[in-house]
Amino acid sequence: MTSTLFLQSDIPDPYSTYKIMLEKNPVYWDETNKIWAIYSYNDCVSILKNNKFEIPLINPNNEQKLNKQALEILTHLTRLSNGIQHKISKEIAMLLFSNMRSVDINKIISQLIEDNLVKDKIDWVNSVCKKLPVLVVLKSFGFKEIDCDFISEKIESFVKIMLPKKTEDQVNFINEVSEKIYSVVEKHLSSLSFYNSLLIKISEEHQISIDKIIPVVVSNLIGLFIQSFDAGRGLLSNSLLQILSNKTFSNKIEIQKSIIETLRFDPPIHNTRRIAAEDFHIGESLIKKNDSILIVLASANRDPEKFENAISYDIERENNFENLTFGIGGHLCLAKHFSIHLATEALWFLFHEYKTIKILENNIEYEPLINARLPKNIWISITN
């Protein structure tokens, strides 16, 4: 029997599994895990674009025993909400996002490299990928150095707040830091010039008191840190691996094309989930109300009906940009262009600044996660 849910750390090549499923069972009921898995491009798109498929609830009735602030954050994230609540929180997240100032990415990455380089060797994942995206977001909102240090240090464990199931240790850590993160972000927001007008705008537009809007704004700013961490880390890691193995680093445009093709070919995020709010037919399969669904984005990205010669890495392919790695429809990632820009600047800095970049390991290990394929370490040597 095929299991649709596996840890990326356990599978050397998930793409061969997706290929078999695409050919034999593109819409598959996994009886063991009681979940539908959707592998083809068109079916993934039709589910993601249909608001009858909702985001599943994490932590119903606070069964995970999160404290006040952690619960506040989880309840208000646009990424996890549906219906009118989603409309409001998405608008808030977009307003926050549009108020980010541009920052000098080169300055941040060069500092990270300088701080972590030991005799020409550096672990790209731990020294750069886990730090750069979240620092760029924090600095774009003008957070003080001390707050940047605190949040970027805690974020790796704090992002576990998004897991459908959490261990007791994870819950303890989340509860421990959420109070401080929440208060740091709330205080900083109130010092920003756009904050009051944002509150008034949302309050008037949706007839909600400002008191009720504040936690949604605080939570969604924290949400931007959370969202930037895993996926941002994975994009910087997987792109470096592909660029090195395909030698596509001769100029900045080639780097950008490589990143977009990496998003299709070897994406950081492999799947996302939905719950059916009513009965729905896909071909001959009947998805019933309340059924769980796994949307396998990384498989859709290699669907030969959508991408010609899908199993080959080709930065010149015309429709690479149509990959589903950032989702599509109402919950489409709002940082698609930001993430590609950030990765392009960072990787171009690396290849432009250093003449020789060599990978020092031939067996990449991945994090034990179901939804994301994230290298644990990538040791490289860099020399100019």
Q: What's the closest the beta carbon of residue 224 comes to ligand HEM, in angstroms?
A: 4
Question: Please, which residue, 232 or 375, has the CB nearer to ligand HEM?
Answer: 232
Q: What's the closest the beta carbon of residue 327 comes to ligand HEM, in angstroms?
A: 3
Q: What's the closest the beta carbon of residue 202 comes to ligand HEM, in angstroms?
A: 15
The DSSP H or E segment spanning 306 is: none
Give SS3 for 294: strand
Q: What's the closest the beta carbon of residue 5 comes to ligand HEM, in angstroms?
A: 16
Q: What's the closest the beta carbon of residue 141 comes to ligand HEM, in angstroms?
A: 10
Q: What are phi and psi of 248, to 5 degrees?
A: -110, 65
**Residue 210, CA distances (Å) to 92, 161, 195, 198 in order:** 13, 26, 11, 10
Q: What's the closest the beta carbon of residue 303 comes to ligand HEM, in angstroms?
A: 17
Return the number of other C-beta atoms located less than 10 Å from residue 68's C-beta. Answer: 11
Residue pair 353/110 in contact by the 8 Å Cβ criterion: yes
Q: What's the closest the beta carbon of residue 81 comes to ligand HEM, in angstroms?
A: 7
Give the relative orientation of helices 168-189 and 210-246 as an angle to the nearest 10 degrees.
110
Q: What's the closest the beta carbon of residue 146 comes to ligand HEM, in angstroms?
A: 21
Which among 266, 260, 255, 238 is positioned nearest to 350, based on CA atoms?
A: 255
Question: Please, which residue, 175 or 344, has the CB nearer to ligand HEM?
Answer: 344
Binding site for ligand HEM (CB under 6 A): 78-79, 90, 93, 133, 137, 223-224, 227-228, 231-232, 235, 268-269, 272, 325-327, 331, 333-335, 338-339
Residue whose entry in the numeric block shows the structure tokens 């606070």: 62
- E strand intervals along the chain: 27-30, 35-38, 53-54, 121-123, 272-276, 280-282, 285-287, 292-295, 356-359, 379-383
Question: Please, which residue, 171 or 219, has the CB nearer to ligand HEM?
Answer: 219
Question: Please, which residue, 71 or 137, has the CB nearer to ligand HEM?
Answer: 137
Q: What's the closest the beta carbon of residue 272 comes to ligand HEM, in angstroms?
A: 3
**Residue 167, CA distances (Å) to 63, 163, 172 in order:** 12, 10, 9
Question: Please, which residue, 132 or 315, has the CB nearer to ligand HEM?
Answer: 132
Q: Which residues pair with 380 in a beta bridge?
A: 122, 359
Question: Please, which residue, 46 or 381, has the CB nearer to ligand HEM?
Answer: 46
Question: Please, which residue, 26 or 232, has the CB nearer to ligand HEM?
Answer: 232
Question: Please, which residue, 26 or 223, has the CB nearer to ligand HEM?
Answer: 223
The DSSP H or E segment spanning 221 is: helix 210-246
Q: What are phi and psi of 35, to 5 degrees?
A: -150, 140
Cα 192 from chain centroid (whole Å): 26
Question: Please, which residue, 131 or 171, has the CB nearer to ligand HEM?
Answer: 131
